Amino acid sequence: MITLNLSDLKSADSTIALLRDPYRFISRRASELGADAFLTRLLLRPTTCMTGVEAAGVFYDPARFQRAGAAPGALQKTLFGQGGVQGLDGEDHRQRKAMFLQIVQPDRVEALAESVTRSWRRAVDDWEAVGRIQLYPRLQELLTLAVCEWAGVPLPAAEVEDRTRQLSALFDEAGQIGVGHLRSRAARRAADRWAAAVIDHVRAGKLDPPPSSAAYVVAHHREPNGRPMASRVAGVELLNVLRPTIATAVYITLVAHALDAHPAWRKRLATGDGSEDTAFVEEVRRHYPFFPAVAAVVREDFHWGGHLFVKGRRVLLDLYGTNHDNRYWINPERFDPERFLGEEPDRFAFVPQGGGDPAAHHRCPGEPIATRLMVVALDQFVRHMTYTAVAPSAPVDFGRLPALPTGGYPIRLVATGISA
């Protein structure tokens, strides 16, 4: 049932409540109200929150919603950057999006998977020498090295540590309040300068990345007006490939957590032929929190569920709650990879990285990368590494953005038997 009226608009701003429980605020409030959508105030602005599979279908209708003006300024100055694909609509969006889809073609995803596998094997030697490591930051570094190499972006050894910290701050500290958020803003300014310089060097012929690489494709992409992007915007788009690929460190840490939480599955996968690996990582993407919600703005007044959506109003679609909508998912709180062994789920029901069609909508173009790198990691965890988690049953901290197991995820390498 969907009802929505002005009396739901609480006078108090809900920003604090959202920040306290970013993944469950919308679904919990919606369930209290017995509605799929409700009106509240976030950052002092009237905002409609929506949750569930039906709501996702409505949210991804470009005739009803636009993205221009949707992202809060604080996220543009950290996570997203300014001028990127996230804020485009119509033909401008379609053409810019085609660039990302070219970058993530299947053979390119495979090349990245090979680069990550190579980096992983080198890294394990170092990890073994240390003994106990914090998995999450080590993965960030490993992925930074691999994605820069793959994307045609030079990364001298002396810069790896700083660049990893900077690119990770774009997603790992953007949602914080105070010092963390300021660090994320500073990281955005520095990363934008760096990425724009890479684009300028490619255009000037000082760098010569392969034509299939992200650096080349972004530098030479043409807008609908036939002109290349301003180098600052092209830099933002290059970072739109590097940053989220490094953010896959979050999902990989959650794969490790899920393997420890479900030892029967670990055993089943270790002795299996790999055909169930993808189902396991898809269930990690559905079950665990990562990206809480996406924002859009109502394009023209329309009615849905008996309510008037007013032109210009910001609307949030709850991703975590939709992945747990019990009208679609049976027993949604249960971790069960079997649900991904049959038919593909509805494109508005399984929305960890947005819904709909990536070419036509704002759905993430990076799902093949995220899923493939999670499968690479799973293969390393269950078939090539011997380690124990220091705190295998640590709960996931739902107050952190992005959510991670409490205390990070330290592991102790017992011995490694990486096969060539």
| Residues lying near ligand HEM in the complex (CB under 6 A) | 85-86, 97, 100, 104, 240-241, 244-245, 247-248, 251, 290-291, 294, 352-354, 362-366, 369-370
From CA 85, how far away is CA 67, in angstroms rounded? 9
Toward ligand HEM, which CB reaches closer, 306 or 397?
A: 397
Q: What is the b/e burial string over 1-28, where b = at least 16 CB atoms within 10 angstroms of the residue's CB?
A: ebebeeebeeeeebbebbeeebbbbbbe
364's tokens: 């993430």
Question: Residue 127 CB, nearest distance to ligand HEM (Å)?
Answer: 22
Measured between alpha carbons, how far is 344 from 60 in angstroms, rounded to an integer? 19
**SS3 of 4, please?**
coil
Closer Cβ to ligand HEM, 5 or 105, answer by number: 105
What does each C-alpha distance from 18 to 25, 29, 232, 346 come to in angstroms? Answer: 5, 10, 32, 27
CA distance 51 to 27: 6
In the complex, residue closest to ligand HEM by CB: 366
Shorter beta-carbon distance to ligand HEM: residue 111 or 413: 111
Q: How far is CA 295 from the centre of its chain?
A: 14
Measured from the CB of residue 217, what is the shortest distance to ligand HEM in angstroms?
A: 11
Considering the complex, what minimum distance in angstroms separates the CB of residue 195 from ligand HEM? 14
Strands (E), 326-374: none
From the number of C-beta atoms within 10 Å of its C-beta (0-12, 13-18, 19+), residue 287 rates as buried
Nearer to ligand HEM, 259 or 281 (CB): 281
- Pick between residue 22 and residue 365 the one whose CB is nearest to ligand HEM: 365
The 3-state DSSP class for residue 381 equals: helix
CB of 268 to ligand HEM, least distance (A): 25
Residue 229 CA to chain centroid, in angstroms? 24
In the bound state with ligand HEM, the residue whose beta carbon lies nearer, of 123 and 294, is 294
Least Å from the CB of residue 188 to ligand HEM: 16
Query: Cβ of residue 37: shortest distance to ligand HEM, in angstroms?
Result: 17
Rounded to the nearest whole angstrom, what is the least distance from the CB of residue 191 to ligand HEM in the complex? 15
The smaller minimum CB distance to ligand HEM, of residues 39 and 70, is found at 70
> Measured from the CB of residue 103, what is the shortest distance to ligand HEM in angstroms?
6
Give whichever of 365 and 405 is closer to ligand HEM, judged by the CB atom.
Answer: 365
Report the candidate in 120, 116, 144 with the shortest Cα–Cα distance to residue 385. Answer: 120
Task: Please tell me the number of Cα atoms within 13 Å of 295 on its side-chain side.
Answer: 18
